[in-house]
Amino acid sequence: MLTLQSTWFYTFKAMVKFIILHFRAAILFSSIIGIITSTYIPVVAQTSKLASLSEIWRFQPVIGVGLYLPAESYPTVGSSELDNLPNYNFRIGFDYDFRPSKDWSAVLNASAFRQPVANARISVASEDIGEGETEDYTERFRLTSPLTFQLGLALKYQTQISNTRFLEFRGGTFFHYLPSGSYSFGSSTTTSNGSHFNLVNLETTSRQSIFKNGYSASMGLVLLKESHIIKFLVSFSFYRRTLVEGFYEFPDLRESGYSAGNYALSGNHLTFGCVFSWVKDKYRIRP
């Protein structure tokens, strides 16, 4: 199997493509935040810049959804290739904020999720399936790993923009526990004359190291309610090396002939997350 290495040019191009693909989702998310921030939340005046956060619990549950860059296919024989699509997953975890009331703090993050491996569509023309066939064949498939875990550490800066609203920025690193393993997909069909036809085979594997390292950058909005806070965060995670590599083939194309190539999934993704925390009863803010 040939090994593919990510390049800065490929990464930049893929990031731009990904942002364009998810522009509508980003607009929707921003609109929701705008509606929420326009809600008036009465609180007493604070005596210091971030006094309202001084009694927030450091342990903060997190839920979110990840939107992944499409994988890349590189034909090495023939011209047929996979139509790779953006992928997604859902995740749950927690943040531990060491100094929630300070401008600068460190945040430890842990999350669990199933790692997307492939999300692709295959299209085979009728003439490639067999003589006498009149309909093209189209199929979509998706592969994910078993449950995996990620641990990250980030430096956080927050600034107050109103009595009950804060902007938050983070930058840090993470380690993703993804055991080495193979993930495969194969598809076949039966032609009109009853013969067996192999459509496509995909064989992938994660890198040998069980811990994959990368970097993340986040920004978000913190809303202070009467007895709790809600954070809306948008994060981009970038892996140092390609996360999943593999090989695909279209073995039985009648007219186009045999096609094969390399497959690579960077693992880079956007995460839209919500973080929750509570004010201790003794110091609860009153309207």
* Distance in angstroms between the alpha carbons of the first and the last residue of the chain: 64
For tokens 């892996």, the residue is: 239
Average pLDDT of the residues in 256-280: 92
Beta bridge partners of 224: 229
For 161, residues 6+ apart whose C-beta sits below 8 A from its C-beta are: 167
Cα 171 to Cα 184: distance, rounded to the nearest angstrom: 35
Cα 159 to Cα 279: distance, rounded to the nearest angstrom: 19
Q: What percent of the chain is predicted at pLDDT more than 70?
A: 78
Indicate if the pLDDT at residue 141 is higher than 80.
yes
232 pLDDT tier (thresholds 50, 70, 90): very high
The model's pLDDT over 12-60, given as tens digits with 9 standing for 90+, comes to: 555 555 554 554 554 455 445 444 444 433 333 333 334 456 677 899 9
Nearest to 189 by CA among 128, 129, 121, 127: 129
Helix residue ranges per DSSP H, 111-255: 126-129
pLDDT at 206: 86
Instruction: Read off the pTM.
Output: 0.77
Cα 82 to Cα 204: distance, rounded to the nearest angstrom: 13
Check residues 251 and 45 and name the one with the higher pLDDT: 251
